[in-house]
Structure 1
Amino acid sequence: MDTSDVSTIDPGHVGEADKDRFRTLSSSMAQGTAVVTAIHQGHDYASPVTAYLSVSYDPPTLLISLYADGRIAEAVESADRWTLSLLNAEQKSVADWLAAPGSPLHGLLRPVPHVRPRPGAPVIIDKALAWFEVETTAIHPAATHLLVVGEVRAMGRTVPPDAVRHPLLRFDGRYRRLD
């Protein structure tokens, strides 16, 4: 193994160069892109995420990682339920819109095709590969983020399973598609 390109990090002092190096190296992880939605103070909140995972199938449990100071983190923390919609490769514009700095709070989802499965439920993104409605069971602070764990209470698709097969991936700082 060539160790000429190794960085060590002093746990007592993580510098800007360490943070930049970590961002660069961690962008080498291919990650699926999803949208988290929640209702907070009567408004729909939504944000794209790439840090999520299936924790267990018995009971069905998911985990998402949210920037603790973000408005979606506040919304998810205050709501008892949230949804995770897994985006397909044709939904890059949805991820871009929801990730744009300064996006409006009121009317945020107006340009995004979505459905509300029932009154009072968080919305799901239309044409997503799959969606999960989740009830929060635990929230754990982790550095600058919150790890939100929840049990799945409803799940499904808004399109037939064979209609869309390509997930929207994030790799090397850009959205990609799996071909």
Structure 2
Amino acid sequence: MPAPETGGIVPPGEFRAAVGQFAAGILIMSTLQDGVAHAMTANAFTSVSLDPPLVLVCVDKGVRMHDAVLDCGYWAVSVLAADQQELAARFARSGRDLRTQFDGVGTEPGPKTGCPVIAGSLSWIECRTWATYEGGDHTIVVGEVLSLGHGEPVGRGALIHHASHYRELPGG
């Protein structure tokens, strides 16, 4: 087997196009910093462990959510349904006014952390930061699951992201 080449850099656009072929669920991550709710749309999320229950999300170091979630140490994720695409787009936009970003959005405070949970989401999970790891221009945030819940997914599809577009994964 030939030795792998070293020193070459994969062009960012080509990398984005290749990994964009992996369909991923869409969620809203939320936290509180000094009593102010912060949120962002994410698709870099996965379960890590069943015992203890752990999940991870990757947070861009260049967004204000990064410092907020690291400062707070508690966060929630709300898994979006296909009919919540508008929310995904809303919380993906940078520069939103923190004080009004949740105006008109149905939320409830998570029972363990108080972090906003999106009403009507397919499921939600509250976490305490378990560990963080450097991941290039992102921080990998591993969370210990403190509480969770789910809506009534019967007939509702999931919102996914594939090839740079939001798409619907039909429900069952």
TM over 0.5: yes
TM-superposed CA distance for 1:178, in Å, is 1.1
Q: Which amino acid aligns with 1:160?
A: E
Task: Determine if the alignment matches structure 1 residue 174 to structure 2 residue 148.
Answer: no
Is 2:112–2:147's contact at 8 Å kept on the other side of the alignment?
no
The 1:26–1:176 alpha-carbon spacing in structure 2 relative to 1, beyond 3 Å, is same
Across the aligned residues of Structure 1 and Structure 2, the Cα RMSD in angstroms comes to: 1.9
Residues paired across the two proteins, number = 167
SS of the aligned residue for 2:66 comes to helix
Q: Which amino acid aligns with 2:145?
A: V
Task: Determine if the alignment matches structure 1 residue 52 to structure 2 residue 45.
Answer: yes
| Partner Cα separation in structure 1 for residue 5 and residue 66 of structure 2 | 28
**Paired residues for 1:146-161 under 5 Å:** 146-157=139-150, 159-161=151-153
TM-score after normalising by structure 2: 0.90
| Partner Cα separation in structure 2 for residue 53 and residue 120 of structure 1 | 20
TM-superposed CA distance for 1:161, in Å, is 4.1
Task: Determine if the alignment matches structure 1 residue 28 to structure 2 residue 21.
Answer: yes
SS of the aligned residue for 1:84 comes to strand
Which of 64, 75, 83 is equivalent to 1:71?
64
Q: Which amino acid aligns with 1:114?
A: T
| Partner Cα separation in structure 2 for residue 176 and residue 161 of structure 1 | 17
Aligned equivalent of 1:129: 122
SS of the aligned residue for 2:87 comes to helix
Which of 68, 88, 92 is equivalent to 2:81?
88
What is the aligned-residue identity percentage? 28
Which of 32, 51, 61 is equivalent to 2:54?
61
| Partner Cα separation in structure 1 for residue 148 and residue 94 of structure 2 | 30
Q: Which amino acid aligns with 1:24?
A: A
| Partner Cα separation in structure 1 for residue 116 and residue 167 of structure 2 | 25
Which string of whole-angstrom CA distances, capped at 9 and with x for unpartnered residues, describes residues 38-92 of structure 1? 0012200000000000001111110000101211111110112100110000000
**Paired residues for 1:94-105 under 5 Å:** 94-105=87-98
Q: Which runs of 5+ in 2 are unaligned?
A: none
Higher strand share: 2
SS of the aligned residue for 1:112 comes to coil
TM-score after normalising by structure 1: 0.87
TM-superposed CA distance for 1:9, in Å, is 8.0
Q: Which runs of 5+ in 1 are unaligned?
A: 1-7
The 1:101–1:80 alpha-carbon spacing in structure 2 relative to 1, beyond 3 Å, is closer
Is 2:112–2:146's contact at 8 Å kept on the other side of the alignment?
no
